[in-house]
């Protein structure tokens, strides 16, 4: 992605960024032949459109590009793959926010997952725009690129072991410590739910635990937990083919927390960071966990299995319980947890659940500012009774079709210490089709919003969970 951003080049084609308003005033200052050319080409500065201006010698003199607004990141996303190959330089310069949006939109728009094939065509390059904070753009683009790559990697090459390897590589790059509890050791170390879900696969389940510090021992502790179901067949409650098809993305939560961790560590934010990933494959075999089995959890709550396809909440239960074993200033989890969240909000809007109103509003504001939308759903306590079981402390599913995303979040809430500021994101982590800057396949959602909140609070010395502290 970052290969499509170039250091300054003598031969760059000038790229003039215009929206509908600025096009009008720019045209008014142009000679008749330019006005006629632009009009004849039907260029109206629509987002993603462009219009070359030829010089007298037939060379490209300048390229006009249309945007919705100068700081709209997605308006720049179509250009790297649609402009004629070459190197472009934005002129005149944009202000800082717009220059950052242009560079990040360009980077995200040039992404393609080419691990198993040759690239079809090279993206056009953009000279790093003036006024742009290139370090900030680079660390976000790298984080999001990592998230997308991990999700896009097919499940045969992205099992629990490969997910561990990805975490190990990231840890190595940033001097973080990595510990892993794998296979039967999960039982010895009291992670029974992770073991129960993952034991049917030939690829051993594990808990991946990364720790890093960019501050002293008293720096706030942020813990990120990500659902790492490397493939979700549904287990014995097998998914139908259509629903199973894209379940390589069921480690999308893990991909989000690794991408976010990459950005945080690259920025050297003055926090202590812990990343916990329960990595399993929800497979079918003779020793698979069954409907109506009762399994234990790290917390000591017994869970009756109403449905083996509701496996994400089980592995997260053990990881969240471990996350709460020390004082945490901010606990965030990301998970491709329910189809119900998608029915409620569609594929692009992550559902956010939060036990702290001020934190939730602040995250929503960061989402709006970063154009990285999210939507809060309630932890509606009366629905806790839907998770009652006659034989165990809890059932892993509720009866009936209602409020599936909420009951899943309420299930998780049982495993969080009540005083811990906690946010749960139920994300789709997938683009169904190509859009500017958002190619079909794995996608990071709410990552920029969350990073922006953590960065703001870390750099202002506030507790990462509390605006007023």
Site for ligand BES in 410-469 (CB under 6 A): 428
Q: Which of 272, 290, 148, 262 is nearest to 220 (CA)?
A: 272
- Determine the Cα angle at 324 with ends 175 and 353, to 5°: 100
| 374 burial type by CB count under 10 A (0-12 exposed, 13-18 middle, 19+ buried) | buried
Q: Is 206 a catalytic residue?
A: no
Catalytic residue among 35, 46, 168, 239: 239
Q: Cis peptide leading into 250, omega within 30 of 0?
A: no
Tell me the C-alpha distance between 101 and 302, whole Å.
48
Contact 251, 229 (CB under 8 A): yes
Q: Which is nearer to Zn ion, 236 or 323 (CB)?
A: 236
Q: Is 239 a catalytic residue?
A: yes
Q: Which is nearer to ligand BES, 104 or 315 (CB)?
A: 315
State the residue for tokens 């939109």: 105
Beta bridge partners of 221: 272
Give the x/- contact pattern for ligand BES in 374-413, rule: CB under 6 A: -----------------------x------x---------
Contact 446, 374 (CB under 8 A): yes
Near ligand BES by CB under 6 A: residue from 143, 205, 312, 437: 312
Residue 362 touches which of ligand BES, Zn ion, none (Cβ within 5-8 Å per kind): none
Contact 358, 350 (CB under 8 A): no
Least Å from the CB of residue 161 to ligand BES = 20
Least Å from the CB of residue 302 to ligand BES = 18
Taking every pair of C-alpha atoms in the chain, what is the biggest distance, in angstroms? Answer: 83
Catalytic residue among 206, 298, 299, 313: 313
Residue 307 touches which of ligand BES, Zn ion, none (Cβ within 5-8 Å per kind): ligand BES
Q: Which is nearer to Zn ion, 258 or 453 (CB)?
A: 258
Terminal alpha carbon distance of the chain: 38
Q: Which of 60, 109, 102, 101 is nearest to 84 (CA)?
A: 60
Token code pair at residue 48: 């993603």
What count of other Cβ atoms lies within 10 Å of the Cβ of residue 305? 26
Site for ligand BES in 316-345 (CB under 6 A): 336-340, 342
Q: Which is nearer to ligand BES, 166 or 345 (CB)?
A: 345
Residue 340 touches which of Zn ion, ligand BES, none (Cβ within 5-8 Å per kind): ligand BES
The single-letter DSSP state of residue 305 is -
Q: Which is nearer to ligand BES, 86 or 347 (CB)?
A: 347
Q: Which residue is nearest to ligand BES (CB)?
A: 339
E strand intervals along 96-159: 125-127
Task: Rule CB under 6 A: say whether 138 interacts with ligand BES.
Answer: no
Site for ligand BES in 202-261 (CB under 6 A): 232, 250
Tell me the C-alpha distance between 171 and 165, whole Å.
10
Q: Which is nearer to ligand BES, 31 or 240 (CB)?
A: 240
Give me the half-sphere count of Cα atoms (radius 13 Å) on the Cβ side of residue 395: 18
Q: Which stretch binds ligand BES (CB under 6 A): 136-144, 191-199, 307-315, 432-440?
A: 307-315
Q: Which stretch binds ligand BES (CB under 6 A): 4-12, 93-101, 309-317, 373-381?
A: 309-317
Q: How many residues bind ligand BES (CB under 6 A)?
A: 16
Contact 278, 287 (CB under 8 A): no
Least Å from the CB of residue 416 to ligand BES = 20
- Positions touching Zn ion (CB under 5 A) are 229, 232, 250, 309, 311-312
- Binding positions for ligand BES, rule: CB under 6 A: 232, 250, 307, 309-312, 336-340, 342, 397, 404, 428
The catalytic residue positions are: 239, 313
């Amino acid at each position: 992605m970052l290969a499509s951003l170039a250091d300054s080049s003598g031969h760059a084609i000038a790229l003039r960024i215009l929206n509908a308003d600025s096009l009008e005033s720019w045209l008014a200052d142009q000679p008749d032949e330019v006005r006629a050319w632009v009009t004849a080409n039907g260029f109206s500065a629509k987002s993603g459109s462009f219009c070359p201006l030829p010089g007298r010698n037939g060379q490209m003199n300048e390229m006009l590009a249309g945007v919705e607004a100068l700081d709209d990141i997605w308006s720049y996303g179509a250009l790297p793959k649609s402009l004629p190959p070459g190197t472009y330089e934005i002129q005149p310069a944009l202000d800082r926010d717009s220059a950052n949006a242009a560079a990040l939109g360009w980077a995200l728009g040039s992404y393609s997952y080419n691990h198993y094939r040759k690239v079809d065509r090279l993206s056009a390059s953009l000279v790093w725009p003036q006024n742009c904070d290139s370090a900030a753009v680079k660390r976000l683009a790298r984080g999001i690129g990592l998230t997308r790559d991990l999700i896009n990697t097919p499940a045969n090459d992205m099992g629990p072991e490969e997910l561990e390897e990805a975490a190990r590589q990231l840890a190595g790059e940033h001097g973080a410590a990595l510990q892993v509890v794998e296979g039967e050791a999960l039982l010895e170390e009291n992670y029974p739910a992770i073991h129960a879900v993952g034991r049917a696969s030939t690829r051993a389940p594990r808990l991946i635990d990364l720790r890093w510090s960019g501050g002293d021992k008293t720096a706030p502790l942020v813990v990120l937990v990500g659902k790492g179901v490397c493939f979700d067949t549904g287990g014995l409650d097998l998914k139908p083919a259509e629903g199973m098809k894209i379940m390589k993305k069921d480690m999308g939560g893990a991909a989000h927390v690794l991408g976010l961790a990459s950005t945080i560590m690259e920025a050297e934010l003055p926090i202590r960071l812990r990343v916990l990933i329960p990595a399993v494959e929800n497979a079918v075999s003779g020793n698979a966990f069954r409907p109506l089995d009762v399994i234990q959890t790290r917390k000591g709550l017994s869970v009756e299995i109403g449905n083996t396809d509701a496996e994400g909440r089980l592995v997260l239960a053990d990881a969240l319980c471990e996350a709460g074993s020390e004082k945490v200033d901010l606990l965030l989890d990301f998970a491709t947890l329910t189809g119900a969240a998608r029915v409620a909000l569609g594929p692009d809007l992550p559902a956010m659940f939060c036990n702290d109103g001020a934190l939730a509003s602040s995250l929503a504001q960061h989402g709006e500012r970063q154009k990285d939308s999210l939507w809060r759903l309630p932890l509606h306590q009366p629905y806790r009774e839907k998770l009652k079981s006659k034989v165990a402390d809890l059932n892993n599913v509720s009866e009936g079709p209602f409020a599936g995303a909420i009951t899943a979040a309420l299930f998780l809430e049982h495993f969080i210490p009540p005083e811990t500021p906690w946010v749960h994101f139920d994300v789709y982590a997938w683009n169904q089709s190509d859009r500017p800057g958002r190619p079909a396949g794995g996608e990071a959602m709410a990552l920029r919003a969350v990073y922006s909140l953590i960065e703001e609070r870390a750099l202002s010395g506030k507790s990462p969970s509390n605006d007023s502290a």
